[in-house]
Amino acid sequence: MDMYRVRILDSAGKTVRKTIEVEPGEDIAGYLSNLGVNVVGVDKISALSRFFIRRKKIKMQEVIETIDNLHMIVKSGMPITSALGDLAEDADNQAMGDILSDISSRLQMGMTFSRAISKYTDVFTDVVVNLVHIGEETGQLDNTLKNAAQHLKKMSDLKSKTKSALIYPAFAFFAMMAVMIFWLVVVMPKMIEAFRSFNISLPPTTRFIMALSGFMESYILYLAAAAVVLVIANSALRKNNVKYRYHTDMLMLKLPVIGLVVSNFNFAFIAEYIRLMITAGLPLYTALNIMEESMTNTVYKRSIYNVRDMIASGSSFSQALAEQNLYPKLVTRMIGIGEQTGNLDGQLGNVAEHYYYKVDMLATNMSKMIEPIVIGVIGVFMLIIMIGLMGPIFTLISSMPA
């Protein structure tokens, strides 16, 4: 996309600056003339300068509200172009207002709604764009917009619950590490000085703790720097190396509790996504192809790719899923029943609701599930510390004359 910085005069005669994106080769002058505004100046933004331009973040709740409002307005019979213009003026977020205004302008130029909105898949998602396209072809745009809003609400809620479920384990892990490091770096060195003044033979446990404490005290800054480098390297590798991302995603699925949350989220996401696409009238193969692009976990993304290939070769959906060794029998059996009865969308809805409920329960009870692990690890650590501390004292008391 080409990007331009445009200066226009508003109704009050004030100069307003806007950043506008157009397709490569598109006539910016023709585009601006269709906007019906007084243009003061136009400057093309270089590729280098674009890196420093950051569009104001648009929250998912704003997207849901916009689509929901569009559904209500279209249902009332108002033209989509006028609806977009009104929503653009009323938008609290300027970034969303600019997007809606741009889409409205493109509709006035003769572009279809689905084509215009496809420029902003990073905001509206692929599923919304495809539903809008289906709605235009079937004449049921108001219904598809309603389905899109409901889908985004469910997925937003599901992601929110998943994140809240994963926050507690992360917090518990870092808090536990902080406690251990504090003991080894701050508390233990003072006690070690006292032990050395006893001039007695120290037990192996005490010597191990002293060595570990000395190591942490000497290299804590290097270890902290190494941790930062590892985090940055991991982020870069996950972004640029598909194979590395696949293996780290697989590792996450094998972690206790966390793997359960991630798996249940993906089961609910896949079932709900395909259900919505099938209900809208898309063939299963096409729905899988669209969904594959929307998945973030590469393990499940690859599984959907394999399922799609197997379906193209003649396998049933349930059979293809079972071959992946990722999906529970409950999922494959319910989908198999849906295929046999011709009620696949209904069974996918049941699967989605079941795992949506499981994610909700996990988010609610996560603290109870993690607590025993945290208490156990801290308990073992403190036991080692206490044995290391009591050993020299016991030895000292034993060596004292009666």
User: Is the sign of the CA dihedral 20, 26, 30, 35 positive or negative?
Assistant: negative
**Whole-number pLDDT of residue 156:** 83
CA of 12: how far to CAs of 39, 40, 53, 100, 288, in Å? 14, 14, 27, 22, 50
Structure tokens at 42: 């136009």
- CA–CA distance, 332 with 328 (Å, rounded to integer): 7
**Per CATH, the architecture of 60-153 is what?**
Up-down Bundle (1.20)
Low-confidence ranges of the chain (pLDDT < 70): 1-6, 8-13, 16-43, 45-56, 198-200, 367, 395-402
**Whole-number pLDDT of residue 319:** 92
Contact 288, 307 (CB under 8 A): yes
pTM of the prediction? 0.70
**Whole-number pLDDT of residue 52:** 55
Is residue 67 helix, strand or coil? helix
- CA–CA distance, 69 with 301 (Å, rounded to integer): 32
Contact 127, 277 (CB under 8 A): yes
Domain 154-402 CATH assignment equals 3.40.50.2300: no
**Whole-number pLDDT of residue 302:** 92
**Whole-number pLDDT of residue 333:** 92
Contact 43, 32 (CB under 8 A): no
Compute φ and ψ for 20, nearest 5 degrees.
-120, 135
Burial of 47 (0-12, 13-18, 19+ CB in 10 A): exposed
Structure tokens at 148: 């899109």
**Whole-number pLDDT of residue 216:** 83
